[in-house]
Amino acid sequence: MKLRSQLFQGYARKHNITDDFIQCNSCSSLFDTDVNYCPECESIMHRSTSIHTTIEAADCSNCDQPIPYTRENRVNTNYNIFGYICDSCQNILELKFDEVFYEPSSFLKNDLGSSIEVTLADSNKKETIVWMFSLQTKVNDIGFFSYQPDDYTVWLASINNTYCGYVALNDDDELNQIWVDEGYRRSGIATKLVEFVCSSVLDQQAELVITSPTDSGREFFDSIQQDGRVFGKDLIVSY
């Protein structure tokens, strides 16, 4: 099994690139093209200048585009991730955590073993992974976790020492989202996440409530239910 989601392919080659870049005179951030507004310091770019300089760049492993490490190629900061992303295909080249840069596939590694394990997102690293997965599942450029992150409890799934999916419940213990990387699907991971929720989170409740499932989500729950029940809970669909 291998991570297949477009977001997690990393870079093929890092190198330096020398070119003309636009520099914000307020904070010195560099941009590939003319911009009217600097998102780094929130200043209007009427005082920007063009400079000829050398900066880091990387070739995207997903689409082969060379991506200079400029401010406009950063991961959207709404996702609490510092890193660089391909503007052509939205693949994260690298992300920075505790002052160290990682390719996504390396950052998702852990020591939980080869079997399917479910763990609470209870550390800074795990929460960063939740933001990454939320970015992968974004709709209209917004991932579910970006709306009200404090209103969700999230558990991560791991197999073969790699975090590969998650399940999220809201404050009412309703299942809002479940997702597994494309390369790890059809391995029982999503089913294991639901079983964990039913047995370890909703152990005193008679119902499993899922909210606004997609067509594929509804198909998944139909495939694991029996006579309207999932792991001993009545399956309730809320729209």
Averaged pLDDT of the chain: 91
Q: With respect to residue 62, please indicate whether it lies within any of the assigned structural domains.
A: yes
Q: Which of 50, 76, 107 is the last residue of a domain?
A: 107
Q: Which of 59, 85, 107 is the last residue of a domain?
A: 107
| Residues 86 and 199 occupy one common structural domain | no
Q: With respect to residue 176, please indicate whether it lies within any of the assigned structural domains.
A: yes
- What does the pLDDT read at residue 90? 86
Domain that holds residue 88: 6-107
The answer for 144, left when phi > 0, alpha when psi is -120 to 50, beta otherwise, is alpha
Question: Which amino acid is residue 125, in one-letter code?
Answer: K
Nearest residue to 127 via CA among 173, 191, 81, 91: 81
- What does the pLDDT read at residue 77? 64
| Residues 87 and 156 occupy one common structural domain | no
| Residues 122 and 232 occupy one common structural domain | yes
- What does the pLDDT read at residue 48? 75
- What does the pLDDT read at residue 131? 86
Q: With respect to residue 208, please indicate whether it lies within any of the assigned structural domains.
A: yes
pTM, rounded to two decimals:
0.89
160 pLDDT above the threshold of 70: yes
Q: What is the pLDDT of residues 111-156, one digit of tens each?
A: 999 999 999 999 999 999 998 888 877 655 555 555 566 788 999 9
| Residues 234 and 140 occupy one common structural domain | yes
Q: With respect to residue 126, please indicate whether it lies within any of the assigned structural domains.
A: yes
| Residues 182 and 202 occupy one common structural domain | yes
Q: With respect to residue 202, please indicate whether it lies within any of the assigned structural domains.
A: yes
Number of domains in the chain: 2
Q: Residue range 214-222: average pLDDT?
A: 92
| Residues 85 and 146 occupy one common structural domain | no
Q: With respect to residue 101, please indicate whether it lies within any of the assigned structural domains.
A: yes
Q: Where are the beta strands (DSSP E) in the chain?
A: 11-23, 30-31, 37-38, 43-44, 49-60, 66-68, 82-85, 92-97, 100-102, 117-120, 152-159, 162-170, 175-180, 207-211, 229-230, 233-238
| Residues 127 and 198 occupy one common structural domain | yes
| Residues 101 and 133 occupy one common structural domain | no
- What does the pLDDT read at residue 81? 86
- What does the pLDDT read at residue 103? 96
- What does the pLDDT read at residue 214? 85
- What does the pLDDT read at residue 123? 95
| Residues 65 and 135 occupy one common structural domain | no
| Residues 87 and 189 occupy one common structural domain | no
Strand 233-238, strand 207-211: pairing? parallel
Q: Which of 107, 135, 164 is the last residue of a domain?
A: 107
| Residues 46 and 96 occupy one common structural domain | yes
- What does the pLDDT read at residue 20? 96
Q: What is the pLDDT of residues 181-210, one digit of tens each?
A: 999 999 999 999 999 999 999 988 899 999
Q: With respect to residue 112, please indicate whether it lies within any of the assigned structural domains.
A: no
Q: What is the pLDDT of residues 8-49, one digit of tens each?
A: 999 999 999 999 999 998 999 999 988 888 988 988 887 678
Q: With respect to residue 1, please indicate whether it lies within any of the assigned structural domains.
A: no
CA dist 49 to 22, 99, 209, Å?
6, 29, 55
Q: CATH number of the domain at 188, please.
A: 3.40.630.30
| Residues 51 and 123 occupy one common structural domain | no
